[in-house]
Amino acid sequence: MRLDLEEMEQFPTNKIEGFKERIEAMLPTLIEHRCSEGCRGGFFSRVERGTWMGHVIEHIALEIQTLAGMDTGFGRTRETKTLGTYNVVFSYTEENVGLFAAESAVAIAESLIAGTEYDLESDLQKMREIRERVRLGPSTGSIVEEAVSRNIPWIRLGTNSLVQLGHGINQMRFQATITCKTSSIAVDMACNKELTKKMLDMASIPVAKGSICVDEEDLAETINKIGYPIVLKPLDGNHGKGASINVTNWEDAVSGLAFAKEYSRRIIVEKFITGFDFRILVIDNKLVAAAKRVPAHVIGDGENSIQELIAIVNLDPRRGYGHENVLTQIDVDRDTEDLLGKLNYTLETIVESGEVVYLKSTANLSTGGTSVDITDMLHPENIFLAERISRVIGLDICGVDIMAENLTQPLKDNGGVILEVNAAPGFRMHLAPSEGLPRNVAAPVIDMLYPPGKSCRIPIIAVTGTNGKTTTTRLLAHIVKNNGYKVGFTTSDGIYIQNHMMEKGDTTGPQSAQYVLRDPTVEFAVLETARGGILRSGLGFSICDIGIITNIQEDHLGISDIHSLEDLAKVKATVVESIKKDGWAILNGDDEHCMKLGAELNCNVAYFSLDEESPFIKKLSAEGKTVAVYENGFITIKKGEWKIRIERATHVPLTLGGKAKFMIANVLAATLASYVWGFKTEDISLSLQTFIPSAAQTPGRMNIFEFRKFKVLIDFAHNASGYRGVEEYLQSVDASKKIGIIAGIGDRRDEDIRECATIAARMFDHIIIRQEKYLRGRSEEEIINLILEGITASGQDVTYEIIPKETEAIRHAIKFAEEGSFITCLSDVVTNAIEIVQEYLDKENEHGIV
């Protein structure tokens, strides 16, 4: 969070009377925070000596999450260049909880400063509730953790437990323990308990006798057939909801029927089988775990009531709220009261020492039950039976519920039966049993989804830099597509899947990257990655194969605490620091900041340059390194002293006949990336020749419209480096008059706006100043005055006029264009400019007039 301390900037903690004592009293566990002191109590020492409130809030935010059951500990607080304003960074396990913790930490700090009471427990409970609402369940979470341990990327789809593993065409999806490989027919069968019993019975697998009932008449008929005791449970139920067990008389049977009908219209009535409740987990038709499940219960001590015994059991640190711990707290409900009623007990009853009182009719962990691992105790015939059941029903992840005296003997010998077959069985009882060995049952799920040799990722090329990102991205996507891949790419004008625009707009942030990586048709991703998205939310991927920095030039300085090119270089470095160890960083060898970055990277590095004779490039060549250079009119790859000429620049349409040097630099970057990836040089050459710059292919990137008597150029140049690139190109353009349409961008520094205007005055004979958009906190008049100052400072003999609206400025320039004129529109909304110019060009083509 960005925190403005206001007047508290003048009051570090040692200047606030009683602050240390109050924070120690409210949060004594902060003594474990070592802080920069590196020892227990280090943070409290900092508070005593005096530290600023941003630092305190960071530690509070971390500690209250830990107290709420979400242990996390990374934090940093850094002052910005604005006095009293800090960036406070801290980690979280659940994002929504982290956001709440941020607000809570500020409120707690304010309370500690003022010396007022604060209800900390209320905030902690709120955080627990938020976590339970948004967290992944224990089964889903275990599969994600196993995937992370194997370096498999994952994306949460929506707010429930639907998760995507892997990227693009190599993705796999699962929800809880239902996977994309799970048969829908098998799930339907498992959910239809009557059909499941029939299928198992036909396969000579022992099941409990019984039938389906919808009313008391059916119930009476079934009881007459199978006799008491019976079990009633909803046909469509789960987690033991609506079940009544060991029913021994008609009155309780009718009551149990009514209870079950709250959950399902049709009710299963079966013979009650005595024994223990077992769950066997089968994954990919192989048994991986087995557990004995014990219903929630208390053991009498001859002193405390049942209610008091429940409270004592719930003090067990292994029990928690919802799924926060390995066991769940025991709650009293109708099922509990019914079971106690059968024993003529109430919650106030004091039972004899050693007596076990069961509080739930089912052994589900979600209702407070416990589990004992018995995986290593199963008879081989029972293992065979469970694995066969998974194939009979057809489930890839299958939970088999068994009632039997034990599983060390075959079921046919001890009279045990199969109660149910579960699709989406819970993993918690196996991951953290109350007794016995924990089983990593998530591992076989990942083994099934990603067997040896199956990739979970798709190739990712990430492109960043100040200028040239979009053009380089589009050219790379063209090269990749021509090599037979289905490409997804993001640019500042939209998201494209296989050259189809899916979303329009500036899509260079992490959400757009994940859009591409979520798409199941994409085989290769090329992602434009801009400064703004990195600063807001980081990257949309953890690892990329190739990272490109086109250049690092002055732009967006003074925004989001980025005040210098060194600051900007750190932001851009995020992309190349994410490259895998055997991947490649493609850097600009003519840019001093890129050269500094390259020396610090832990991956392969290759440079491109417009100057083959630069000392840096010559040094790399002497060392046998791979570089891309522009030499003797050719786009060339050099390996040591060997040259591989890919194509003559004049044959590459994007370079505008070799005149646009900054476009040659973009071509070099894309060519070098393609070469180190492994594409053939002849395929790269063909792609360079067939990539035709146009308003459709590269909107706003040196788009030239040829009228009969004059030409119009539209470009997205919006900073000094971009202006200089256009200036260099215009020097090669022969025109009777060069007209420029320019504007300033309000959130740029004064000197940046002036410098762009100065460059414009050098390259144009006449300037039209327009300023209707991107004021960003400034007035139109203020920006125009800065532009005029820049024009005056140039000392050039240039005329100008002010036409605020872009559409009117373009129409005016076209309407009064002289023969041989060259109009350049440097637009920040290229779509509008292109549409207007295209409209005039269409009119000329149709009617012969503009």
> CA nearest 137: which of 320, 316, 289, 324?
324
Instruction: Tell me whether strands 319-320 and 327-328 are parallel, antiparallel or unpaired.
Output: parallel
Q: Return d(Cα 54, Cα 82) in angstroms, integer.
A: 14
Strand 711-715 relative to strand 703-706, pairing: antiparallel
Rounded distance between C-alpha atoms, residue 489 and residue 168, angstroms? 12
Q: Residue 545 to residues 200, 376, 461, 468, 676: CA-CA distances in angstroms?
A: 50, 44, 6, 20, 10
Measured CA to CA, the distance from residue 586 to residue 607 in angstroms comes to 6
| Residues in contact with 364: Cβ distance below 8 Å, sequence separation at least 6, in sequence order | 239, 240, 293
Inform me whether the pLDDT recorded for 815 exceeds 90.
no
The predicted pLDDT at position 849 comes to 61
Least confident piece of the model among 87-96, 324-333, 353-362: 324-333
Residues 533 and 430: their CA atoms lie apart, in Å, by: 41
CA distance 677 to 689: 19
Query: Per-residue pLDDT tens for 637-682?
Result: 999 889 999 999 999 999 999 999 999 999 999 999 999 999 999 9
Residue 599 DSSP symbol: T
Average pLDDT (585-595) is 96
Place of tokens 């079934």: 222
User: How high does pLDDT run on average in the chain?
Assistant: 92
- The 8-class DSSP code of residue 305 comes to B
Give phi and psi for 635, each to the nearest 5: -85, 115
Residue of higher predicted confidence among 319 and 526: 526
User: How far is 767 from 801, CA to CA, in rounded Å?
Assistant: 7
Rounded to an integer, what distance in angstroms lies between the CA atom of residue 542 and that of residue 575?
9
Q: Could you read off the pLDDT of 693-736 as tens digits, one per residue?
A: 887 788 888 889 999 999 999 998 888 888 999 999 999 999 99
Predicted local distance difference test score (pLDDT) of residue 844: 83
- Closest CA relative to residue 281, chosen from 146, 369, 371: 371
| % of the chain surpassing 70 pLDDT | 98
Residue 319 is predicted with a pLDDT of 78
Give the Cα separation of 126 and 99 in Å (integer). 12
Average pLDDT over residues 482-505: 94
Euclidean distance between CA atoms 360 and 332, whole angstroms: 9
Whole-number Å distance between alpha carbons of 63 and 31: 10
pLDDT digits (tens, 9 = 90+) for 150-208: 999 999 998 788 999 999 999 999 999 999 999 999 999 999 888 999 999 999 999 98
Average pLDDT over residues 220-233: 91
pLDDT at position 842 is 87
pLDDT of residue 239: 63
Q: Where are the beta strands (DSSP E) in 284-396?
A: 286-294, 297-299, 319-320, 327-328, 356-358, 370-373
Supply the pLDDT for residue 323: 61
Nearest to 523 by CA among 172, 173, 168: 168
Residue 326: predicted pLDDT: 66
d(Cα 716, Cα 834) in Å, to the nearest integer?
11
- Residues 747-777: pLDDT tens digits? 788 898 999 999 999 999 999 998 766 677 7
Distance CA 277, CA 450 (A): 33
3-state secondary structure of 434: coil
Strands (E), 5-143: 75-79, 85-90
